[in-house]
A and B are shown apart, each in its own frame.
Chain A
Amino acid sequence: MKAAGSMTRRGLSLRVLLLAWAALPALAAANLVVVLNSRDASVTLLDYATGAEKGVIAVGKEPHHLIPTPDGKELIVASAVGNELVFLDPATGALKRRLPDIPDPYQLGFSPDRQWLVVAANRLDRVDVYRAGDYGLAKRFELPSIPSHVAFSNDSAFAFVTLQGSDDIVAIDLKAMTVAWKMKVGKTPAGIVTTPDGNHLLVGVMGEDHVAAIDWRKRAIVKRLSTGAGAHNLAPKGDGRQVFVSNRVANTISVIDQGTLEIVRRYDVPGGPDCMDLAPDGKSLWVTSRWIMKVSVLDLDSGKVVKQYPVGRSPHGIYVHKPPVAAAPAK
């Protein structure tokens, strides 16, 4: 038996070739963008480089949000009125499987410990907690009204959900499977994220014009950051220190420093900016322009919308595929 270090030149070349071949599908698929057309019950696949439409997939009614599975091998599209989860290949957009009987999956998130999938059922006033392993229902919470977006504490002890209808956020204790507390946050709260240090929640207060920063352990709003009318959704920037906020009425996107809780930049993005995802190179932000049936590409250096691509009606969730970093070739 030969040691690895004593490979022949031919063996080495073969290994390099095999590694390159294995990395090919991922590299080739680096150009996929997935857009959910919530009013058309379809998913548009765009070519990242050219914006050309690569295909349209029919899914259940009202697909609003999507997330990759924790292992990154699948992309879950949640069809709210279709009552199903549709699993796509995140690299190619190919339909892999469907999971029916998930009632009204509007927005969803995996707990950081990968134990739970928490689903906000916006229309049915429920939050359902599923086991992340087999997607079996662990607990159903009736939470009036209009559960919207989901976030987690860094230790996965709590799931936080915004309630658009009652202007609250609610904390669900994922160990006891009980509602731990509820607090008022402002008119029609929507997007919610936990800051990287785990100390604050940032909530887009859509019915007003700001993001509320909440010390969730004290259940206190510590700051209101005036980002713009219709502060809606939040998406972390690549370095994790900053977070983007889409202001759907003001037609702007703000950037908040999550450490200092200050607004550090604002971009004009027309058409009702909604969900956002960073390009693999971190230089541009892809945004669904909800009211104009387009996806906008914002160049983060120049601050300009450099491209707009037509998609379906009321485009909502968006995912820009980021291929896994290829293993370094053996030397």
Chain B
Amino acid sequence: MLPEPFAGWFGALQGWLFQTLVLPLLQVAGLAVYTEDAFNATEDFLWGALEIAVLAAVLLPLERRYPVERFARGSAVRTDVLYTLIHRLGLFPLFFFFTLRPLFDALQATLHLRGVPTPNLESLIPALAASPVASFLAYLVLLDLALYWIHRGQHAFGWWWALHSVHHSQRQMTFWTDNRNHLLDSVLTDSIFALIALLIGVPPAQFALLIVLPRMLESLAHANLRLSFGAIGERLLVSPRFHRLHHAIAASPRGDYRGANYAVLLPLWDLLFGTADFRPAPGATGIDDQLTGRDYGAGFWAQQWLGLKRLAGRG
């Protein structure tokens, strides 16, 4: 799926990192049983590092030159950098692997041994098997639809919004903000996403790209960047302008946030389900009750703790 020479270069780097650092550590720690998993995790780590490097190289200078809002990059932005490192360099995937993956394996085993079919798109639409590109696009569209409805859920249910509001409480939104999420929210959304991927049978060769490509576009969508894709482009792919409206205070009445523009990649879903809003100047980002003094926390731990308190109805 990946073009040469990139695939070879990436594979060589993964092999080198794994053999130089990860494998000896596993052996010393008596964790050889996780060797194959660690090899795959090394790949995920490299993807994350590559993403961050590319995003920073491209978007940092652009955000400085063409910002929507001008602000000094202080601790608020640095906290979002921390969220990005946690989510994309493996700490969160590691947690996910040790806690939830055994459950998913057991679920898959139970489904299979009881004869419950777990179909894949290629078996439903055989023509897709002949074209990796068509198959990739089909999975991309389907998973994006799933993400749209997960996102609707994050805003529709009060308990879920209690967690997801961590993401929306950033008033200095940059491309780093994409990963500013309550960890419980991340566990929940990733579990649902993994379940869907399990049920529709995402091909492993495409899994990295099906994760990496949307993640990079999601980061772009959060960028503090005066960038519109034009009248037609705005309706084809989620732009920073389109998504900024989703984060705008003006679009979050009553602190219980019912907004617009939920799509992750394709505005098509907002157009189809009546939640699209293409107004050009959404204004400042955040949640309206922040203006009246509600505290969502300044640093990582405060944000996580206050999220739990809101979830318990005490925040």
Contact = CB atoms under 8 A, between A and B. Distances in A.
Interface in A105-132: 123-124
Contacts of A188: 32-33
A93 interface: no
B44 to A, nearest CB: 12
B203 A41 contact: yes
Interface in B72-114: 105, 109, 112-113
Interface residues of B, number: 26
Interface string B3-22: 00000100110110011000
Contact of A39 (B8, B12, B109, B204): B204
A207 B204 contact: no
B39 interface: yes
Which bracket fits the contact residues of A?
35 or more
Interface stretch (B23-31, B154-162, B258-266): B23-31
B109 A104 contact: yes
B105 A123 contact: yes
B109 A103 contact: yes
Contacts of A83: 112
B19 A272 contact: yes
A249 B27 contact: yes
Contacts, number: 75
A287 to B, nearest CB: 15
Contact of B204 (A40, A206, A230): A40
B20 to A, nearest CB: 10
Contact of A58 (B39, B40, B129): B129
Contacts of B203: 41, 61
A61 B118 CA distance: 13
Interface in A11-65: 38-42, 58, 61-62
Contact of A207 (B12, B32, B109, B205): B32
Interface string A272-316: 100000000000000000111100000000000000001001100
A12 to B, nearest CB: 49
A249 B113 CA distance: 35
Contacts of B14: 291
Contact of B11 (A81, A124, A146, A293): A293
Contact of B30 (A40, A187, A290, A293): A187
Contacts of A42: 205
A271 B39 CA distance: 12
A207 B8 contact: no
Contacts of B32: 187-188, 206-207, 230
B205 A41 contact: yes
Contacts of B39: 290-291, 314
Interface of B: 8, 11-12, 14-15, 18-19, 23-24, 27, 30, 32-33, 35-36, 39-40, 43, 105, 109, 112-113, 129, 203-205
9 contacts: A41-B203, A124-B105, A164-B33, A188-B32, A206-B35, A207-B27, A249-B23, A249-B24, A291-B39
Interface of A: 38-42, 58, 61-62, 81, 83, 103-104, 123-124, 146, 164-165, 187-188, 206-207, 229-230, 248-249, 251, 271-272, 290-293, 310, 313-314
Q: Lowest 5 A-B CB distances belong to which pairs?
A: A207-B32, A292-B15, A291-B15, A293-B11, A188-B32
